[in-house]
Structure 1
């Protein structure tokens, strides 16, 4: 299972949010570029980066995002404000390994499915769930879609992955999150990346054995130091099966 150490940016600073509330971020006094480089130095093969200013339609972090993409040394899966073909292709051209699309997928699913075909292994569908419905606009607006039907509506669109976040039980009811994510992963055609569910090594150990879960975003636990990246990577690593000795 792939671990995606996760960084969220607001006004040039690393932040974490409680249930997606942009008005009350937790600020972390760390250097974003050096923190990203630390992810790579610890052995991560990918990182995930979300630009919350871009969610608001602002480009104030664009230079910082480009610097992270150029300097971190591992592929960056980038999300936040991808509301048009032009924005998506802009960031692919700037070197983003993958681009995460949420709101645009709800508004224009045909376009996003087309982009997935044009950019194989680079378009990730974000499915954020609140009280049984898919949310858009950075978790601020209900899209009136049920998550299972929403995912199935994309058919065989060749997404690199589908990120599923259960906002309703964000970090407070991990069992409920695992149930929702496992159920959606069972029906998804693309590999699923779980989001918001990891508080410690036990959560990674449980995710690892859910079918079609290919990875997990891990952010808040790293910043709060309830988990180290080295621990997360070790637990997520496939275990070698014992080989019987024949006499």
Structure 2
């Protein structure tokens, strides 16, 4: 199982939000320095999110992202406000290993199909769930589509990887939604990356035991509750 340190970027800074709430923000300095720190501590891959992009639908932090990609020697997956094939192509050309679609994937199924046909396994989709339903627009809106149903739809069009986040767990340091992750992993054959609330060695162990492809760890690393090198070991 791959452990992905999370680097959420807002206004050019590395931040963490609580349950996706843009008014509850902790700042942790320079995203580029943080990327290098996690790389030096043994990360095998990085998870970047352009929070401004997720909220406004445009690549607000592209220069920071470009610098990270230029310096990184490990794979980097990136999401946040990616809503065109041109954006995907630009990020892949810059060296992104995997591009993560969010809101656009739910609102425009044809776009997902076209992206997968064009870029194959370089496309992942983030399923952000709130009480079982898919949330959109930087988690500020909730749809009427069940996360499980959406996962099946994505698999049908050829998506290879999904990131599943329970918003209620994100940034709360209270453990992931193991039941929700297990349900998703049982109904699809795609690679599932867990996100949201991963706080302890026990959490990481349980996710590995479930056979998940990856786990994204954010606030627990930034607050020191988990040490990346220890988790990887």
- State whether TM-score is above 0.5: yes
Structure 2: stretches of 5+ with no match in the other structure: none
- Which whole-Å CA distance do the structure 1 matches of 2:33 and 2:143 have between them? 37
Structure-1-length-normalised TM-score: 0.88
Name which one, 1 or 2, has greater alpha-carbon Rg.
1
User: Could you tell me how far apart the structure 2 residues matched to 1:101 and 1:48 are?
Assistant: 13
Moved over 6 A (4+): none
1:104–1:59 distance in 2 versus 1, CA, 3 Å: closer
Separation of aligned partners in 1, 2:21 and 2:126: 17
Q: Distance in 2 between matches of 1:116 and 1:232?
A: 32
Q: Aligned partners of 2:30 and 2:148: how far apart in 1?
A: 39
Contact 2:169–2:196 (Cα < 8 Å) also in 1:
no
Q: Which runs of 5+ in 1 are unaligned?
A: 235-247
- Pick closer, same or farther for the CA change 1:186–1:178 going to 2, 3 Å: same
- State the distance in 2 between where 1:59 and 1:77 align: 15
In 1, the alpha carbon distance for the partners of 2:136 and 2:9 equals 19
What RMSD in Å do the two structures reach over aligned CA positions? 1.6
Give the strand-richer structure, 1 or 2.
Answer: 2
Would the aligned equivalents of 2:77 and 2:100 in 1 still touch at CA under 8 Å? yes
1:122-165: per-residue Cα shift (whole Å, max 9, x none)? 11110010012101111111121011111112234333411001
| TM-score of the two chains, using structure 2 as the length reference | 0.93
- 1:149 is matched with 149
The aligned runs of 1:76-87 (5 Å cut-off) are 76-87=76-87
Look up the match of 1:215.
214
Quote the residue 2:115 is aligned against: 115
Deviation of 1:173 after TM superposition, in Å, equals 5.1
Provide, for residues 31-74 of structure 1, a one-character-per-residue CA deviation record: whole Å limited to 9, x for no partner: 32122112122221110001111123354421111000111221
1:82-128: CA deviation from partner (whole Å, max 9, x where unpaired)? 12222222211221111110111111112212212321221111001
| Corresponding position of 1:179 | 179
In the TM superposition, residue 168 of structure 1 has moved relative to its aligned partner by: 2.6
Matches for 1:48-59 after TM superposition, within 5 Å: 48-57=47-56, 58-59=58-59
- Note the C-alpha offset of 1:172: 6.0
